[in-house]
Amino acid sequence: MLTRIKGGHAIDPANDREGVADIWIRDGRIIEAPGDGRADETYDAAGKIVMAGAIDIHSHIAGSNVNTARLLLPELHRGMTVRRAQTPLSNAEWGTFQTGCLYAAMGFTTVVEPAVAPSDALHAHLELADIPIIDKATLSVLGNDDCLLDLMRAGASASHIRDYVAWTLATSRALGIKVINAGGAAAFKANVREFSLDDVVPNYGVSSRAIVKTLQRAVHELGVPHPLHVHCNNLGMAGSAETALATIAAAEGLPLHLAHLQFYGYGKDGERGFSSDAARLAEAVNDTKSVTVDVGQVMFGQTVTISSDVLRQFNARNQASPKKWVIFDGDGNGGGIVPYNYRSSDFYNAVQWCVGLELFLLIEDPSRVFFTTDHPNGAPFTTYPEIFALLMNRDLRAQWMATLPPAAVAMTTLASITREYSLKEIATMTRAAPARLLGLRDRGHLGAGAVADIAVYSNDADRAKMFRAASLVFKDGELVVRDGAVTQYRWGRALTVAPGHDRSIERRMQEYYSDRYGLPANIMAVPATAIGRPEPFEAVPCAR
């Protein structure tokens, strides 16, 4: 079967190509234009924009914490409310099935669930398997787990820790490793209420910085393409920019990814002691080439915060709206679910909204700043089209700013920023760069050999409208969306890495599980046969 997408304006920054071109597809892959030029089916894309399918590197779409949020908030679902238009999460319709459909409609074809506890990996993968159309991946969370902290306390060798990390990646079927408030959740279990980069976890005697550096080194030395994904300490606090700057400095020349930087973009200036420090953070990112960040943009409206930063969520519990919350002291991190309503009339929320946009616009290289709302923590992923529009149009930003408390806008530099993203920069940020960051060589571009994940958009001046409903979306070469509506359902795969480990770690892990828990270590396994879909996983190669 030969498919041709004819005459669209292709934007393919990964291959440094932009212009009118035909895209040819055979057997789910993009191919060079064949000699005879006869296609079995042809889609006319004249006047339209053609990009690779978008890749979301950080969106909480599956796992027990996400599911707890669903069960905590029945009032946010369609079946429980008549005020659908005012409740974004009910528009998101929030089940696994709708998650896949809504992402696909926007032209997204790969999404990473960034916070899976290894003990919850099977659950997370079962949920991901019920998300149709798109491909998925997980990041496994280490850094508050008894096993790693115990190894560090005992002065285990770097190779032993590498093997543990590699074993975790393989056992939990993850694409990378994330650390969330390194040591903070373990410290909270010992009744610590504030925890910074150089604080030490009680009982274990290791600092947060040591945990980050240990994991960064292990991930790097294993050749895992995605660098350690760091959720810093002190999220959301006034003055948290200092923590983010210290963490950026701690990268020390090795790759490091900082998640949802917006939530650390705060200084302590002004009457309320809360201001934007985004310009300083952006400058540090611009100067530190080994660091990548994603934004975690805030948008106004009802949402729910879902985080494995259990200490932060506990401290935020009294801001819950509606007034109920779940705090879960899990194995390792656990999680906290705190519903929250971002209001445009609220000084702090307005500063947060500006900080996110400042970071997007002040970080110069669109291949080192990634497009996220930390769904659903800053906003549901269904708000992405509005954010694309804001990045691409300074007049639109000015209109929004005019509706915010002037005192809040004055605490930021947003009003002075004239930059507007081009479509090429959007394609870099959402296609080329995330594929490179995750090591997905055959995604995020339109060159021959790429997986035929392709989004075709009408070139509408209303960019939100354009990105909300793709004109055509192909997944693995199959047409799945037409005019923003799903036309064909299929099951995607979960992308994994397995860098390999010394076999001795398997015996050591058996001993650890047996000693500590009286359980077999394979109780945490994710067998492919348990997922209930054909070929649920796809291996991504490591660098060594």
Partner 1 sequence: MSHAWIDGRPVALHVATAEAARLLAASRVPVVAGLGTDIAGARAAIALAERIGASIDHMNSEFLLREVEVMRAAGIMVTTPNEARLRADVLLMVGAGLVEAWPELPERLLVRPPVGQVDAAAKRLILWLCPGGDPAKLAGGAKVQVFGRNRRDLPVLLAALRARLAGRPLGKTPLAAKAIDALAAELRAARFGVAVWSAAALDALTIEMLCGMVADLNATTRFSGLALAAADNAPGVLQACGWMTGFPMRTSFGRGFPEHDTWRFDAARLVESGEADCAVWISAYRAAAPAWTRQVPMIALTGQDVRFRQKPRVQISVGRPGTDHDAVEHDAATGTLVPVVAKNPSKAVSVAAALAEIASALPSSGAWPC
Contact footprint for partner 1 (CB under 8 A): 62, 64, 66-68, 70-74, 77-80, 93-97, 119-120, 122-123, 126-127, 130, 146, 150, 188-191, 202-203, 314, 317, 320, 324-331, 334, 489, 515-519, 522-527, 529-530, 532
Give the nearer residue to partner 1 in terms of CB position, either 61 or 540.
Answer: 61
Buried b (16+ CB within 10 A) or exposed e, 2-22: bbbbebbbbbbbbeeeeeebb
- Phi then psi for 115, rounded to 5 degrees? -145, 80
* Cβ atoms 313, 325 nearer than 8 A: yes
- In angstroms, give the least distance from the CB of 525 to partner 1: 6
- In angstroms, give the least distance from the CB of 510 to partner 1: 14
CB atoms within 10 A of CB 518: 7
- In angstroms, give the least distance from the CB of 75 to partner 1: 9
Give the nearer residue to partner 1 in terms of CB position, either 170 or 248.
Answer: 170
Give the nearer residue to partner 1 in terms of CB position, either 474 or 491.
Answer: 491
Give the nearer residue to partner 1 in terms of CB position, either 139 or 326.
Answer: 326
Which residue from 259, 112, 243, 241 is spatially nearest to 180, judged by alpha carbons? Answer: 259
Task: Kindly give the pairing relationship between strand 108-116 and strand 135-141.
Answer: parallel
Q: How far apart are CA 409 and CA 350, in angstroms?
A: 7
Contacts of 424 (CB under 8 A, 6+ apart): 11, 13, 18
* Cβ atoms 56, 103 nearer than 8 A: yes
Omega within 30 of 0 (cis) for the link into 118: no
- In angstroms, give the least distance from the CB of 159 to partner 1: 22
- In angstroms, give the least distance from the CB of 161 to partner 1: 18
Q: How far apart are CA 2 and CA 4, in angstroms?
A: 7
- In angstroms, give the least distance from the CB of 528 to partner 1: 10
Q: How far apart are CA 167 and CA 214, in angstroms?
A: 16
Give the nearer residue to partner 1 in terms of CB position, either 119 or 413.
Answer: 119
Exposed, middle or buried, 398 (CB in 10 Å: 0-12/13-18/19+)?
Answer: exposed
- In angstroms, give the least distance from the CB of 298 to partner 1: 23
Give the nearer residue to partner 1 in terms of CB position, either 67 or 286.
Answer: 67
Give the nearer residue to partner 1 in terms of CB position, either 120 or 476.
Answer: 120
Give the nearer residue to partner 1 in terms of CB position, either 121 or 472.
Answer: 121
Contacts of 469 (CB under 8 A, 6+ apart): 105, 106, 483, 484, 485
* Cβ atoms 516, 146 nearer than 8 A: yes
- In angstroms, give the least distance from the CB of 26 to partner 1: 27
C-alpha of 58 from chain center: 0
- In angstroms, give the least distance from the CB of 321 to partner 1: 12
- In angstroms, give the least distance from the CB of 239 to partner 1: 24
Give the nearer residue to partner 1 in terms of CB position, either 331 or 420.
Answer: 331
Q: How far apart are CA 515 and CA 512, in angstroms?
A: 5
Give the nearer residue to partner 1 in terms of CB position, either 487 or 504.
Answer: 487
